[in-house]
Structure 1
Amino acid sequence: MSDLRIGIVGVGAMGADHAERIVRHISGARLVAVSDPDTARAEELATRLSAAGPVQVVADPLALIGARDVDAVILASPGFAHADQLFACLEHGKPVLCEKPLTMDAASSLQVVEAEHKLGKQLIQVGFMRRFDPEYAALKELLDSGELGRPLLLHNVHRNKANGPGFRSEMIVRDSMVHEVDVARWLLDSEISTITVHAPKPTSAVPEGVLDPQFAVFEMANGSMADVEVFVNFQVGYEVRCEAVAERGSATIGLGSGVLTRAAGHWGGAMPADFRIRFDRAYDIEVQRWVEAVGRGEIDGPSAWDGYAAAAVCEAGVASLSTGRPVTVDLADRQAVLG
């Protein structure tokens, strides 16, 4: 079979990273087009990566999606643009790997789920890359094996070194905590029924009015629970940990596996600067498996429903953040929507 011809919408940090990945690491695919409002950035990227084959710059993202020489699309554009771009992918029958969020709110995410269901074929995969990280995958396999008994609790830590001044309190829920929302649903094999988001006195590293860090508790429909600390201005580095506590034991990932040094009166290791370093291998696996699944006419990862469920939980989380009280997640009945 010929290589899958991929177009990327949005070539900021994440989109450019995917572009490099497709050109340098992914087999069975080639980058043929990019689109970004910053045309100079898109042109520079296209020129830099054109040694492996011509990369066209398309000003209109919807035109890229509809182009006959684009077989599949990666959406790395801002979340507010996703709904229209996803509907375009469905209209043209284009498989799409959509970076989170699916859309900016639960209502439009549900519309996307319903539109895809009417086609009778899954075309949308959501970029929750932690499911592809070898450590997370091993933890999932362990929990599913039953060796530790029924999972009861999930503890999560999610810390970024720093974020810009425009990163608001609700974005911590929608853009950072959303990963733990998906992780909890996936590892505990249950929807989240209630979320409570607490905020202590914020760090002095953020502007007035920004609530950082945040601490959330998820009550799962199957009776298990999860918690997460999200701290997006930790100042030290990027740190993600997860501990599952089950009936007959516990398991922890994210403790670091790099070289431990002892020198000059100190001991320790390195902490990655951002998520692209920590989850580089996960992104490689995610995109490679997506390319292979598209060749089979399938998806191989989080679905549009998973994107919708995460959006519904985050919507409730933002509501809880303003009150500090538990908020019930308003989630549509999956059977009624998908049959």
Structure 2
Amino acid sequence: MSDLLGVAVLGAGHMGADHIRRLDRVVSGARVAAVADPDTDRAQRALAGIAGAGVHGDVEAALDAPGVAAVLIASPGPAHEEALLAAFARGLPVLCEKPMVPGSEGALRVVEAEARLGRRLTQIGFMRRYDAEYRRLKATLDEGRLGRPLMLHCVHRNVSSPPDFNSAMLIDSSVSHEIDAARWLLGQELTAVTVLRPRPCGRAPEGLQDPQFALFETDGGALVDVEVFVNCGFGYQVRCEAVCEEGSARIGEDRGMLVTSAGAAREEVAQDYLVRFADAYDREVQAWVDATRQGRVTGPSAWDGYAASVVAEAGVRAQESGTRVPVELAPRPALYA
């Protein structure tokens, strides 16, 4: 046990419980040393069968628990800033689920706090960078044989939205994944956003403008469009097509099991992001554990988390105003050059 990286997991909800399972059963080189959640009963349930981990009702108690050497933040977004700053104060490396911080001002405070430390401690959980299909698309674009990327066409669909989901969350929660993926795939910053809204789907809860269509401009002259539809009813789908000067490349074709019977064929469609991106989450957490044990920090940075928050915030303003909204980033600290 002493050789294993002791991880404090903050949050024992849907995502946090899955990471607790992952650290205990899938990832090598780590163990769950502590769990923090205001609902301590939920935390106890998430730890069922896992020995040696304490349950805490507050973040600081978990960070100060014996054996904790790293932190995985899977609590709701508004709690992330306080947790990140507490981890920084203790010099603890962090894997923080997206959004790093929902608002751009708080996200910038995190960037500035880490920059003052003079070293990176944070990896942000944009797990699509670890998905096999996305990595293959990234490698194809970087090779350059398809020529300069001109456009990305993206689709992001969920079966249904949670009860508390609102229209702004289509951009700052769902489309935030496409925001980071576009920046990473293209190696370009997003500079402006426009959001269009068709008539709401009949399955959308009252007051939720679903689906929506976001159009992003980049500093390299490319365009990125995203269809986000969180009450499509039939499955979880994420697709991306890069259109370049000399060809195109597309991922996310849902090649699940094909069942043929009674004169018909039916192909399975994933119903949940934890199913579609299970391997990506596994690779992401394993890479974080491996790097942390070696004293390194890799993967998406706090700057990437900040940039995603700024773009998403501009997207929400575009959604509300119906106009094109420019994206304005603060100067990038040298730590993230």
TM-score range, shorter chain: over 0.9
Matching residue of 1:38: 39
**Kept in 1: contact 2:303–2:336 (CA 8 A):** no
1:96-111 matched pairs, under 5 angstroms = 96-111=94-109
Equivalences, count: 336
Please give the alpha-carbon distance, in whole angstroms, between the structure 2 residues aligned to 1:145 and 1:229: 27
**Kept in 2: contact 1:243–1:250 (CA 8 A):** yes
Matching residue of 1:321: 319
**Kept in 2: contact 1:153–1:246 (CA 8 A):** yes
Matching residue of 1:298: 296
Matching residue of 1:259: 257
User: Quick one: which amino acid aligns to residue 45 of structure 1?
Assistant: A
SS of the residue aligned with 1:334?
Answer: coil
Matching residue of 1:6: 7
Matching residue of 1:69: 67
> Following TM superposition, by how much is the alpha carbon of 1:162 offset from its aligned partner in structure 2, in angstroms?
0.4
> Following TM superposition, by how much is the alpha carbon of 1:49 offset from its aligned partner in structure 2, in angstroms?
3.2
Matching residue of 1:184: 182
> Following TM superposition, by how much is the alpha carbon of 1:166 offset from its aligned partner in structure 2, in angstroms?
1.5
Please give the alpha-carbon distance, in whole angstroms, between the structure 2 residues aligned to 1:300 and 1:206: 39
Matching residue of 1:49: 49
Please give the alpha-carbon distance, in whole angstroms, between the structure 1 residues aligned to 2:312 and 2:267: 34
**Kept in 1: contact 2:119–2:335 (CA 8 A):** no
Q: Deviations over 1:170-218 (max 9, x none)?
A: 0111110000000110101101000111111111112332110010001
1:193-212 matched pairs, under 5 angstroms = 193-212=191-210
- Further displaced range: 326-335 or 222-231: 326-335
Give unmatched runs, 5+ long, in structure 2: none
**Kept in 1: contact 2:237–2:254 (CA 8 A):** no
SS of the residue aligned with 2:242?
Answer: strand
The one of 269, 273, 289 aligned to 2:287? 289
**Kept in 1: contact 2:194–2:215 (CA 8 A):** yes
Matching residue of 2:230: 232
- Further displaced range: 294-303 or 119-128: 294-303
> Following TM superposition, by how much is the alpha carbon of 1:337 offset from its aligned partner in structure 2, in angstroms?
7.8
Q: Deviations over 1:245-289 (max 9, x none)?
A: 111110000002222232212213101111000000000000000
> Following TM superposition, by how much is the alpha carbon of 1:61 offset from its aligned partner in structure 2, in angstroms?
1.1
Please give the alpha-carbon distance, in whole angstroms, between the structure 1 residues aligned to 2:23 and 2:333: 36
Question: TM-score, length-normalised on structure 2?
Answer: 0.97
Please give the alpha-carbon distance, in whole angstroms, between the structure 1 residues aligned to 2:196 and 2:167: 12
Question: TM-score, length-normalised on structure 1?
Answer: 0.96
Please give the alpha-carbon distance, in whole angstroms, between the structure 1 residues aligned to 2:324 and 2:163: 28
User: Quick one: which amino acid aligns to residue 205 of structure 1?
Assistant: R
Give unmatched runs, 5+ long, in structure 1: none
Please give the alpha-carbon distance, in whole angstroms, between the structure 2 residues aligned to 1:19 and 1:107: 30
Matching residue of 2:84: 86
Distance change in 2, residues 1:258/1:338 (3 Å): closer
Please give the alpha-carbon distance, in whole angstroms, between the structure 1 residues aligned to 2:85 and 2:69: 16
> Following TM superposition, by how much is the alpha carbon of 1:68 offset from its aligned partner in structure 2, in angstroms?
4.4
**Kept in 1: contact 2:115–2:333 (CA 8 A):** no
User: Quick one: which amino acid aligns to residue 199 of structure 2?
Assistant: K
- Further displaced range: 251-260 or 141-150: 251-260
> Following TM superposition, by how much is the alpha carbon of 1:22 offset from its aligned partner in structure 2, in angstroms?
0.7
> Following TM superposition, by how much is the alpha carbon of 1:39 offset from its aligned partner in structure 2, in angstroms?
1.0
Matching residue of 1:277: 275
> Following TM superposition, by how much is the alpha carbon of 1:165 offset from its aligned partner in structure 2, in angstroms?
3.0
Matching residue of 1:18: 19
RMSD between superposed Cα atoms in Å: 1.3
SS of the residue aligned with 1:309?
Answer: helix
The one of 117, 136, 139 aligned to 1:138? 136
**Kept in 2: contact 1:190–1:220 (CA 8 A):** yes
Name segments (4+ residues, structure 1) moved above 3 Å. 335-339
Please give the alpha-carbon distance, in whole angstroms, between the structure 1 residues aligned to 2:293 and 2:335: 27
- Further displaced range: 292-301 or 137-146: 292-301
1:103-182 matched pairs, under 5 angstroms = 103-182=101-180
> Following TM superposition, by how much is the alpha carbon of 1:164 offset from its aligned partner in structure 2, in angstroms?
2.4
